[in-house]
Amino acid sequence: MATTLDNPPISVSKIAIIGAGVSGIAASKQLSHHNPLVFEASDSIGGVWRHCSYNSTKLQSHRRDYEFSDFPWPQRESSEFPTHLEILDYLHSYAEHFDVLKNIRFNSKVVEIRYVGDQEDLSSSFGGLPSDHRTPLPGHPVWEIGVQKNNQSDSIQWYAFEFVVVCIGKYGDIPKIPEFACNKGPDVFKGRVMHTLDYCKLDQEAATKLLEGKKVVVVGFKKSGIDLAMECAKANQGPQGQSCTMVVRTPHWIVPHYRIWGLPFSMFYSTRSSQFLHERPNQGVLKALLCLLLSPVRSGISKFIESYLLRKLPLEKYELKPEHPFEEDYASCQMAIVPENFFSEADKGKIVFKRASNWSFWSGGIEFEDNSKLEADVVVFATGFDGKKKLKSILPRPFCSLLDYPSGLMPLYRGTIHPLIPNMAFVGYIESVSNLATSEIRSMWLSGLLDKKFELPSVEKMLSQTLHEMDVMKRSTRFYKRHCNSTHSINHNDEMCEDMGWSSWRKKNWITEGFSPYSSEDYRKKD
């Protein structure tokens, strides 16, 4: 439904936030003094924790590393990793404590966004660089948002805003499915084909019924695939149970817990001193030289961790030893925690691994490039999500085309602002050890920007910075298409602290500053 005289856009707030997942509620809390309007397509907060979690899904990091700076976990010293239900309870407690829920409109799906701002900025996005003097809150609407209420496709209400914060994330909603040659795809398979997104929607009874006594093939060897294989093994205990086959294209390093040879994992990558070992944007000549001189130490730490993992886990036995160094997985946020009894199930034959670069379907299952065949009743794609396609589905032209870069990464200044898209921010598109903490500090930074505590540099400088960050990612890991700042997150946060007028050193003294791991509580706002 188009905007007409009978259906004019409504102006109810200066700021819109799209999505009420972790990033959305973080942004809503930090921008609460602006009374933002939050649009959430579902009936609850939580994002992927609500809609893309299995019954057995747990947090991948320690709960102390996954908490808001001003809202610690209850029993935060517990060594156990919280379940997705515990995380949802924590997020609800946070939202209720800071009265975030009052700004959220549930069952409100954003189906379209239209630009109604300065047409000079619109044309300059392609004809040259836009103005460097754009005001984040100009005093008049810049964007119109079309919202579908309660899945009523024939009824769209339009709203007008000065600034939009996009928090729909990279995961969920749109699955990434491999492409197949003609007559080699899922249509020729007589069994059931699904994506982990579909599996997440099943309750415990339906999930067990799907897996129990079935020949299941899981495509992928990342966290979602590993967890699914574990659930399949549990559903097939006993002599009548079938094995689950994991089709592995590229093995990545997995860890059993966050201690290496008895040392906390955070000592290797989450202290300020450890960040000197890794290249980072804007490090200067002296720091670049130091990084080069310390490269043997960086490589040694990676091998030190690898030696522990190869001793602790039977990766070589099952031909799952990655061909790349551990540090490349850490630099691209690929590392995953393996369930405690995962390889015990493999030893019992309940989980089987098949290395394959290419494969296709046949009527009874899947066929590999060596012409061998594997029978299957169910094939599940644990192949991730198409977050860029999700963004493109709501962003208007020409802005949606600005999301495409040869590197595969979306250029975001401070991980938040696209230099060529006016009056819009993106929160939740940079990964780290703790995506919650990463979203929170970006929301703090965004609040400072909208409150005019600092100004953005020129568009040219912002573009130069983002492109430089992409180059650093390319040199750090072959998996650079995942935008991750885990190896230089402290330095990245330093820059945002300096923008906000904060001290970049957040610890009590130079010893803890240099050698104590950083966490979200270090970035709590100081009164």
The CA distance from 169 to 391, in Å, is: 9
Report the number of distinct structural domains present in the chain.
2
Q: Among the three residues 366, 381, 396, which one is the final residue of a domain in this structure?
A: 381
Instruction: Quote the pLDDT of residue 172.
Output: 75
- Regarding whether 100 and 241 lie in a shared domain, the answer is no
Measured CA to CA, the distance from residue 379 to residue 376 in angstroms comes to 7
What angle, 0 to 180 degrees and rounded to 10, lies between the N-to-C axes of helices 435-450 and 489-500?
Answer: 20
CATH of the domain at 425: 3.50.50.60
Final residue belonging to a domain, choices 381, 408, 439: 381
User: Structure tokens of 159?
Assistant: 């709203």
Shared domain for 230 and 323, answered yes or no, is yes
Q: Are strands 244-248 and 216-219 parallel, antiparallel or unpaired?
A: parallel
Do residue 19 and residue 150 come from a single domain?
yes
Please answer whether residues 80 and 60 qualify as being in contact, where contact means their C-beta atoms are separated by less than 8 angstroms: no
Q: Are 251 and 127 contained in the same domain?
A: no
Given this model, what pLDDT does residue 467 score?
A: 87
Are residues 199 and 155 part of one domain?
A: no
Query: pLDDT (tens digit, 9 = 90+) per residue, 6-50?
Result: 567 888 889 999 999 999 999 999 999 999 999 999 999 999 898
457: three-class secondary structure by DSSP: coil
Domain interval for residue 85 = 15-172+386-486
Is-contact 125 399, C-beta < 8 A? yes
For position 481, what pLDDT does the model report?
79
Residue 175 CB partners (closer than 8 Å, separation 6+): 195, 196, 197, 381, 383, 384, 385, 386
- Distance CA(142)–CA(103), nearest Å, equals 20
- Chain CA centroid to CA 187, Å: 31
End residue of a domain, out of 341, 365, 381: 381
- The verdict on 372 and 423 lying in the same domain is no
Q: Looking at the domain assignment, is residue 111 inside a domain?
A: yes
Residue 223 lies in a domain: yes
Distance CA 26, CA 443 (A): 6
Query: Distance (Å, rounded) from C-alpha 360 to C-alpha 181?
Result: 8
DSSP 276: G
Same domain as 129, residue 158: yes
Answer whether residue 278 is part of any domain: no
- For residue 277, being part of any structural domain is answered with no
**Residue 31 is encoded by which pair of tokens?**
């921008």
Name the pairing type of β-strands 359-362 and 365-368. Answer: antiparallel
Q: Please state, in angstroms and rounded to a whole number, the distance separating the CA atoms of residues 106 and 100.
A: 13
Residues 480 and 351 in one domain: no
- DSSP string computed for 359-410: EEEETTEEEETTS-EEE-SEEEE---B-HHHHHHTTSPTTGGGGG--TTS--
Number of H helices, E strands in the chain: 17, 20
Regarding whether 167 and 79 lie in a shared domain, the answer is yes
218 in the same domain as 79 = no
What Cα–Cα distance (Å) separates residue 487 from each residue in 266, 280, 346, 436? 11, 8, 32, 17
- Which pLDDT value is given to residue 124? 52
CA gap 139, 14 in Å, rounded: 8
Q: Which runs of consecutive H residues, i.e. helices, occur in 451-525?
A: 459-476, 489-500, 510-515
513 is a domain residue: no
For residue 284, being part of any structural domain is answered with no
Rounded-to-integer distance, Cα 217 and Cα 247, Å: 7
Clarify whether residues 122 and 155 are in a common domain.
yes
Q: Report if residue 281 sits inside a domain.
A: no
Tens digit of each residue's pLDDT, the chain (527 residues)? 555 545 678 888 899 999 999 999 999 999 999 999 999 999 999 998 988 888 888 888 888 889 999 999 988 877 778 999 999 999 999 999 999 999 999 999 999 999 998 766 565 555 555 666 578 899 999 999 999 988 666 789 999 999 999 999 888 788 899 999 999 999 999 999 999 999 998 988 999 999 999 999 999 999 999 999 999 999 999 888 899 999 999 999 999 988 888 888 888 989 999 988 888 887 878 888 888 898 999 999 999 999 999 999 999 999 999 999 999 999 998 888 898 899 999 999 999 999 998 999 999 999 999 999 999 999 999 998 888 888 888 899 888 888 876 666 788 999 999 999 999 999 998 888 888 999 999 999 999 999 999 999 999 999 999 888 888 888 888 888 778 888 888 999 999 999 999 999 999 899 999 999 999 999 998 75
| Strands 336-337 vs 351-355: parallel, antiparallel or unpaired | unpaired
User: Residues 112, 203: one domain?
Assistant: no
Residue 519 forms part of a structural domain? no
